[in-house]
Structure 1
Amino acid sequence: MIQQRKMKRLLSRSALLLTAASFLTLPMATSAFAGKEGVFLSDSVYFTLDKVSLSVGAEDGSLRFSLGLNNNSNAIVDFNNYGVKVIDTNGITYTAKLNEKVVARVKAGETGTFKFTSEIPNNLTPSDLKVDIFRWNNNSTSDIGALSVESAMVESGQTLEQQAVINLKEIDTTLAEETLVTAKLGQSYKVYKDGVWMVYTDLILSNESNASVKLPEGLELNFQDSKGLTYGAQFVASVGALLPDQPVTVTLQAAVPASLDTNKLSLLFSPKGKVKTALLGTLNAAKTFSVARLGDKVTYPNKDDSGALNGLVMSTTWAAAIQQTDGLHVQANVTLTNTSDGIVSVPALTGEFQASRSNVGVTSSDNAVRSAYLSPNESTTFHFQGIIPASLNAEALQLVVLEKQGTTASTTTGTGTGSSSGSGTGAAGNNSDTPKQGTSLPVAVTSLAGAGVAGEATTYAAAQAYKIGDPFKLAATNSMDSNMDMSLVELGMSVNTDFGYKTVVAKYKLTNKSTTTLALPDFQTELTNEEGYTYTGVRQTNVAKNIAPNTSYVLNYSYMVPDTEDADKLALNLYDTNRLAMGSYKTEVQPIPATGPISVYPFTIDFDDYSLSATYNKDNSYSYRLRLDLDVQRQAQVITDANFSSLVFEVVDTEGRLLSSKPMTFTGQQRILSGVQFLEFNNIRSEQITSDSYFNIYEVITTPNGEAKRLIRTIRP
């Protein structure tokens, strides 16, 4: 039966300790305890409270503390004459058990330390508790004084923690004395992996004894849900010897049903086979399941006891879900940033897209080459992508980021051993087995709600704002090297009256920023108008295979659009060769200037002067001769080869009929140059000669579907 006692008011002997100068008999001990609360037996003998730890489990609590008996007198003080208990603000007392066998007689000039544990309710706070010291008087006791738990915790910087205190002697009776191990929860994750829903939980174990110890085989761990159902938990890797005062992070895993509610999940410690009858400790795991949102910055869980990953911050900075005919294409970028003052290693990460409460999981790897280390304030981004069933709700999607154990990210220099994360193992030197190489353990779960879903093509409303000429901010993919910049430099449209449709021509500039030659990337493009109509781009027929370092190359794509398309509100959608989106950007066609210079990137052409004359030929035909005074300027240093677009000059009569045409190129002997040039248009019949004939000038690119023409200027003599 729990007895209630009223607290006795502490008199002058239970006061704040004086300064070191007040205890000349033991200056070092007095200085060490200066400022602490004490309970005095005499002017030279007093008790102090140290190393206080208040733990709360799911169903109970535990108070652990060290009581110091400071003997500055000239005689031996026997601790057997005194007793200790814990008392709360309601006067209810709780037994304090001595944790280890120690010598009770404290010699003169020494300090004896006695470690205690008291089981208490889990709803008590440090301010509710005091450690009461009393004297044994034959069959009775008399209170001496009490020490504040809250004051001792504040003085040492301790906080209330959720942890279970496991007495291993209750499982392994061969142990010579009580051996306490504390268990605290780290992060927990619910992950669909290898066709099974799993719960992974990081567990921090601390050996509170004075000698190394191993967890006995008779210790059983189980997760328990709100219905009382239990799910056996195992360590991912074997746990070696636990060293004193050296916390070790291990990882638990348990197979669970998809419908498991993690908001009411507990971790139970018990002797094997006695989870229902003999609990040794419980921890509430509900609050350890954290699902981040897009853009949230979270601290990377440091499972490596060497601290090699301290300072890493992780964030899912971008995600997109695009509906295609073969399913929902999902992508996400995960950025790691080193916020520390030192260099940290880059972990090897993989991704998995999962849908909560659905048995669907799609793994993804980013094989991009990156450095093995990050300097202070440096970042690196991983890109993950996958295709999941189209019927799934994108708002329920989650990205699970996993770390491959025993490996690091691909590196650009050296082998880069990086950090071998020790999840599920003891600290270095603990002789514990690391997870098998290739094992992946979760480090973050992010909800992709709000990433947005488009229909068969990305909608105009979802596209990013864009200014022609700026580099695209592309999602990283395996087919686009990170050292390759790409931008849209021109977008023009012209009418094909003979065929009843319009042609849009887009020019993309690709720049190799690296110091080595790169392969010209392949990509797909689409234009989507505000109503959702989509026009697929066709790439020019012939292109270069490589781009030299520090040079640029222009690629042309053409799009057939209906005659009714105004093209004033378009979304440009870019995809890699696997139809995974790299970005979507708002744009519009550029107007054709009626006067002044015209752009055929990377050139500008200005028609300073022109004139037209007709000549009669001996074969009874006529020729037009067009005299041009041109000013041709190169806007940028971009490679122009035989695959570059050309110009075509067409003579058209008043009825819009083509009379003759003449091509000109930007390369070769007949290339367009600044100065005066003459163009001859032959084989025009006499009845076609009119004073109202005019010239249309087109930029022409060759595509697999034929020639695509963009009208750039009309000349009327």
Structure 2
Amino acid sequence: MKSQWKTTVSSVFLSAALLASAVPALAAEPGKPAPTQASASAPTAYKLTNDLQVEMKSVLNEKTTDGTRLGAVVRMKNTSSKVVRVPEYEVRLKTKDGVEFRLQASLGSSRSIQPKSQVELSYLATVDSGEGVELSELRWVDIDVYVYPKKETLQLSVPVSDLVWNGTETSEIPSASVKKWGEAFTIPSLQTPLEFKTTNISRDTIGTKTNSVVQVLVTNPSTKRQTLPNIALEGKSGLQTYDSNRAESSLALEPGEKKYIHFVIPTELNTELEALNVVTAERYIDAQEKPVTYNVGRVHIMLPAKQADALPVHGAYAFGDAMKMDPLNELIHPSMDVSLVELHMQQNEDDAFNTAIAKFKLTNKSGGPLNVPAFATDLVSSDGYTYNGNRQGTTTLRVLPNASYVVTYSYILPASETGEGLKLALYETHGASAAAGAQASGAKSQEAQASAADTGASYKSLLTAYGVKLQPQPESKDELKLYPLTVKVNNWEISAMFNQQQNYNYRLKLLLDIEQEKDVLLDRTFSQLQFDMYDNGGTLINSVKSPFVGENKLQKGSNVINFNADSMQLDFPVTVKVYESFVNDKGETAKRLLTTFKQ
């Protein structure tokens, strides 16, 4: 015995008149599909009457709390030169086992179609049953109620099994819609020629929440200006679905133009996305004039086994080489080279984590000053974890012509991180973080900063990425490398003095040679040397910072570092650890051990 089905019918209105050129339909037997001669990428048009054709936009078969929601959205075209009424046929969805479900036409939908135009019609029904259904056809049936028994004539049957969207809570995905990561695709059902291609997915962690940002390249191959359709993205992890926010609310592309769009997907901290659904919203109004909105999937994109493997890298990086930037980026001037000149990682003695420090050289090859770009950076480990970089707190405003400037970033990594197989990614930031970066560097106008801050949510767009190796610590303890400086310690001496307060004070005397790379500029924002003095028991006596620019700067020749310890007891031996240090944009001091003196 077949299950009893209770059908709750809702009406819907979704109609829009669009000018479109008609395609003559081929002849067909009554009730059988009559496809027109159209390109393979375009939706197939079927002849309904001599003057009308229909195209499938979407078919829905989704389980809800009320049962199973069945729906269809079609475009009906008038190919004639006169106004044509929409036929009062019954529209039904047929299952593979032969059961037919009647759908109701949209509330207030168009009853007629202008010449050479089309309307969009939506149909919906909710079936109250615990069993699922498998849909096979969408049917238009003419009912003659003036004869007894009533006579039914099939006018058109369209196969839909390959078009059905079963909702986001199921793993049943139409095979035709599945794409690999980075594979280009179109969405013909939306009547747009635009081509889409996923290019990167990055991850930002804020507290216990993580934002995954998906970057998609959009190309307009047509000869006309095109507007981005209203598409959205869903992240999938198992049967869990995560909605996204599209960063660009509207976008238009000129013929041949390429632009990026970005989708921000909030997830839990350790969520690993496995796939993405490209979806569009269908709007529905029931018989009580209540709107119902549901999503229909258009494309299902499989992510690599590890989300971080989606990062496109140029290959192994050679220190000092100019990085290849995305040609669509709006942050790095074409006349500015960005190169990585240092990347070190050390374990912190007092904390259970590692600190990595990277230095980037910005070279202005133009004849005029260029703004210092406030790009973001990530280190990505071999097992897929992303570590966001923190930029130095302040920078200079501009780089002079034919000169270079150095910007430093710090990263916090777990103590278990070995540094093998690291990837380095650079990003252009947008939103609140972009406004903060612009204020730190002065690289953008006040209007640009305000505009960035007004967008609210932050997202970033990939500039470039490489595989990188950590640099080893120099073997020489007397030659300190902190690009663009090489500091050679020719002699050092630790002494103690008895002052008028009857306390002991320590001082470090240094005899230095300081060499600076040609055409690389230094200012007060550059790193300092930090001297930490410890007693014989390992207790910190005092810490002193000495700059390379400005007052009390370190210079070639003799330098004296006073620790102002004011200790009542003379303690020897003592140890001085020398670090390169800077304050990042979080107000934290990041440092790298350069050498140690013990006397």
TM range (shorter): 0.5 to 0.7
Q: CA deviation at 1:241?
A: 4.5
User: TM-score under structure 2 normalisation?
Assistant: 0.60
Quick one: structure 1 residues 660 and 286, their matched pair in 2 at CA, closer, same or farther if it must change by over 3 Å?
Answer: closer
In 2, the alpha carbon distance for the partners of 1:230 and 1:549 equals 70
Is the alpha carbon distance of 1:672 and 1:449 closer, same or farther for their aligned partners in structure 2, counting shifts above 3 Å? same
- The alpha-carbon deviation at position 666 of structure 1 amounts to 3.7
Superposition pairs for residues 315-464 of structure 1, below 5 Å? 315-318=197-200, 331-340=213-222, 342-353=223-234, 362-367=243-248, 372-387=251-266, 395=274, 397-402=275-280, 445-452=298-305
Q: Distance in 1 between matches of 2:48 and 2:496?
A: 110
Matches within 5 A, 1:304-323: 309=192, 311-318=193-200
| Matched ranges for 1:40-119 at <5 A | 53-55=26-28, 60=32
- Secondary structure in structure 2 of the residue aligned to 1:248: strand
Counterpart of 2:140 in structure 1 is 269
SS in 1 for 2:230: strand
Among 279, 296, 311, the alignment partner of 2:154 is 279
Question: What residue identity is the alignment partner of 1:284?
Answer: P
Say if 1:547 and 1:343 are closer, same or farther in 2 by CA, change over 3 A. farther
Question: What is the match of residue 700 of structure 1?
Answer: 581
Residue 698 of structure 1, CA deviation: 0.9
1:664/1:671 contact within 8 Å kept = yes
Aligned equivalents of 2:185, 2:419: Cα separation in 1? 43
Cα distance change on mapping 1:222 and 1:558 into 2, 3 Å: same
Pick aligned residue for 1:504 from 341, 355, 365: 355
AA aligned opposite 2:228: P
2:21 match? none
Q: How many residues align?
A: 495
Aligned partner of 2:454 in structure 1 is none
2:489 counterpart of 1:604: no
Q: Is contact 2:200-2:310 (8 Å) kept?
A: no
Query: CA 1:302–1:604 in structure 2 vs 1: closer, same or farther (change >3 Å)?
Result: same
Report Cα offsets for 1:472-509 as digits up to 9, x if no partner.
989x9xxxx96379987643233555x37564133476
- Could you list the per-position Cα deviations for residues 165-205 of structure 1 after superposition, in whole angstroms to 9, with x for gaps in the alignment? 445xxxxxxxxxxxx33424344354879999564544352
Letter in 2 for 1:627: L
TM-score by length of 1: 0.52
Instruction: Describe the shift of the 1:526–1:609 C-alpha distance in structure 2 as closer, same or farther (beyond 3 A).
Output: closer
> Structure 2: any 5+ residue segments left out of the alignment?
1-23, 165-175, 284-290, 434-456
- AA aligned to 1:631 is E
Cα distance, 1:54–1:201 mapped onto 2, change above 3 Å: same
Q: Describe the shift of the 1:612–1:312 C-alpha distance in structure 2 as closer, same or farther (beyond 3 A).
A: closer
Cα contact 2:190–2:229 (8 A) shared by 1: no
Aligned to 1:298, which of 185, 191, 206? 185
Distance 1:579 1:502 in 2: 27
Matched, 1:559 2:445: no
Larger Rg: 1
- The 3 A distance-change label for structure 1 pair 205 and 376 is closer
| Alpha-carbon offset, residue 567 of structure 1 | 3.4
**Cα deviation, residue 373, structure 1:** 3.7
Residue 610 of structure 1 deviates from its aligned partner by 1.8
Residue matched to 1:423:
none
Which structure 2 residues correspond to residues 651-666 of structure 1 after superposition, within 5 A?
A: 662-666=544-548
State how far apart, in whole Å, the 2-side matches of 1:394 and 1:616 are: 60
State yes or no: 1:491 paired with 2:343.
Answer: yes
Whole-angstrom distance in 2 between the partners of 1:255 and 1:360: 24
User: 8 Å contact 2:53–2:77 — kept in the other structure?
Assistant: yes
With over 3 angstroms needed to count, the CA separation of the structure-2 counterparts of 1:198 and 1:645, relative to structure 1, is farther
Following superposition, the deviation at residue 337 of structure 1 comes to 0.6
Q: What is the deviation of 1:229?
A: 3.1
Structure 1 contact 200–252 (Cα < 8 Å) conserved: yes
Indicate which of 389, 393, 396 corresponds to 1:543. Answer: 393
The verdict on how the C-alpha distance between 1:632 and 1:535 changes in structure 2, with shifts beyond 3 A counting, is same
- Identify if the C-alpha distance between structure 1 residues 701 and 621 changes in structure 2 by more than 3 Å, giving closer, same or farther: closer
For 1:13-60, what per-residue CA distance to the aligned partner results, in whole angstroms no more than 9, with x for missing partners?
Answer: xxxxxxxxxxxxxxxxxxxxxxxxxxxxxxxxxxxxxx8833367x53
Looking at structure 1, the residues matched to 363 and 508 of structure 2 have their Cα atoms a distance apart, in angstroms, of 45
**Greater RCO (CA < 8 Å, at least 6 residues apart):** 2
> 2:513 maps to what in 1?
629
SS at match of 1:315: strand
1:563-599: per-residue Cα shift (whole Å, max 9, x none)?
A: x754345567999988989889754432122359755
* Aligned-pair identity (%): 15
Q: Aligned runs of 1:152-167 on 2, under 5 Å?
A: 164-167=46-49
Superposition map of 1:176-195 within 5 A: 180-188=50-58, 190=60
Please give the per-residue CA displacement for 1:579-623, whole angstroms capped at 9, x wherever unaligned.
9898897544321223597553xx422235623467786759775
Describe the shift of the 1:484–1:248 C-alpha distance in structure 2 as closer, same or farther (beyond 3 A): same
User: What CA distance in whole angstroms lies between the structure 1 residues aligned with 2:200 and 2:178?
Assistant: 13
Task: Tell me if structure 1 keeps the 8 A contact 2:94–2:137.
Answer: yes
1:225 matched to 2:95: yes
2:139/2:156 contact within 8 Å kept:
yes
**Other-structure match for 1:42:** none
Measure, in 1, the Cα distance between the counterparts of 2:82 and 2:45. Answer: 21
Give the whole-Å Cα distance in 2 for the aligned partners of 1:624 and 1:390. 47
Matches within 5 A, 1:208-247: 211-216=82-87, 218-227=88-97, 228-232=99-103, 234=105, 238-239=109-110, 241-242=112-113, 246=116
C-alpha deviation, 1:291, in angstroms: 1.2
Change (3 A) 1:519 1:678: closer
Contact kept, 8 Å, 2:248 with 2:262, in 1: the verdict is: no
Report what 1:203 is aligned to: 75
The CA distance in 1 between the partners of 2:260 and 2:294, in whole Å, is 19
Mapped to 2, the partners of 1:444 and 1:615 lie a distance apart of: 74
Cα deviation 1:304-355 (Å, max 9, x = unaligned): 7xxxx5x422334445799999789655333321113x34122253414276
Distance in 2 separating the partners of 1:666 and 1:587? 29
Pick closer, same or farther for the CA change 1:506–1:266 going to 2, 3 Å: same
Deviations along 1:618-663, whole A, 9 cap, x unmatched? 759775421112112377568x555x53212457899989787652
Structure 1, unaligned runs of 5 or more:
1-50, 65-152, 168-179, 406-437
Aligned to 2:559: 678
